[in-house]
Amino acid sequence: MKLISTSILICIIFLYSACKETSNNIEPVINSHRVKTILEKKNGYETWRCDIVYQNDKVIETSSFTNFNNIWSPEEISNFDYNINSIHEKTSEWRNNQWHESYGFNYLMIYSKLKEFEILDFFENRWITEGKYIYTYESDFLTERKYIELYDGEEKERHKLSFNYQDGLIHEIRMYIRGELNDWLMQVKQTFDYSHEGITEIYTYSIDELANWNLQQRIQLKYINKLLSESYVYHQMDDSNLWHLSYSNIYLYDSNDYLYKIIECDGCETEFIYEEGNGNANIFYSTPLMQIMQYPSLKSSSKSKAFNYLCF
């Protein structure tokens, strides 16, 4: 399902804020909307779209299509099953004029917070687990995300992120990998600057063989009425200490502050088309890091807040 793969490209560590608490209380809904279609364009030409189907206020199916010479062809179809504490997603790809089971995800929830995100692959006519992310919380704050790979039937820890906060705001994110001696080696860290509207600068550092931290990337965020309106990603080239713009995005909202368009610097646009109703599409669009970085979410009204604004 392309919702996930598209969102991962936000930042070097945007691989994957504490999740917003949910409950089963019935609440009145005003201006109830949910995402019906996500549409991508390149220089004004429609290239890709994803149609979303709901049942009982939850996403049960997404279908994506590619456009070539004004002919829409099926790409993927994803189906979703809900249990009390979990969501199961299975995706099939369209190849050689037929559907082929391809990959999937399992989301394990405990007290409305995501505890495990399992990655599945369909191989030799059976579903196998490639790996999983484990999330650790203290109070309402995400403190660690660890990736465990399943290799020859054994679980192997590969990398992890640790999250440090000051005054309730994210202060630093550190990325570690498992070393040859089975110790954790820090590779990358990110630090943050704030204004009254939110995060304004994100700095990414890498560590060299002499244990020196080198500034590699800078992300600048701008806001209008506390909504992210522009983002700019800069990299340092060679040893010139000069910043070079890598890419940028513009974010547009409707009168209800619903995200309806992202404009990228290369001419690509992503549009979000809404319909009346209650939904939970942000489960499969947002990630914990996107929430920490204050990346716009797909707002959805929901009578029951169960599975609303979940993240992986």
pLDDT in tens, 122-140: 999 999 999 999 999 998 8
pLDDT in tens, 87-124: 999 999 999 999 999 999 999 988 777 889 999 999 99
Q: How far is CA 6 from CA 11, 134, 140, 176, in A?
A: 11, 22, 27, 24
Collapsing DSSP to helix, strand or coil, 3 comes out as helix
State the DSSP H helix or E strand holding residue 50, giving kind and residue range, or none if neither: strand 45-55
CATH architecture entry for 2-18+32-292: Beta Barrel (2.40)
Q: Is the pLDDT of residue 184 over 90?
A: yes
pLDDT class of 296 with cuts at 50, 70, 90: low
pLDDT in tens, 187-212: 999 999 999 999 999 999 999 888 89
Q: Is the pLDDT of residue 9 over 50?
A: no
Q: Is the pLDDT of residue 307 over 80?
A: no
d(CA 312, CA 109): 10
Collapsing DSSP to helix, strand or coil, 10 comes out as helix
Q: How many whole angstroms from its chain centre is CA 158?
A: 20
pLDDT in tens, 153-176: 899 999 999 999 999 899 999 999
The more confident residue out of 32 and 43 is 43
d(CA 37, CA 285): 13
What pLDDT is recorded for position 110? 83
d(CA 11, CA 135): 20
Q: Where are the domains of the chain?
A: 2-18+32-292
What pLDDT is recorded for position 177? 95
Q: Is the pLDDT of residue 24 over 60?
A: no
What pLDDT is recorded for position 22? 34
Task: Yes or no: say if 106 and 82 are a contact pair by the CB < 8 Å rule.
Answer: no
Concatenate the DSSP letters of all residues of 152-169 into one string.
TTEEEEEEEEEEEEETTE
Q: Is the pLDDT of residue 237 over 90?
A: no
What pLDDT is recorded for position 288? 60
d(CA 287, CA 19): 9
User: Residue 96's CB: how many other CB atoms inside 10 A?
Assistant: 5
Q: Is the pLDDT of residue 293 over 60?
A: yes
The more confident residue out of 240 and 82 is 82
What pLDDT is recorded for position 14? 34
d(CA 75, CA 80): 17
What pLDDT is recorded for position 156? 93
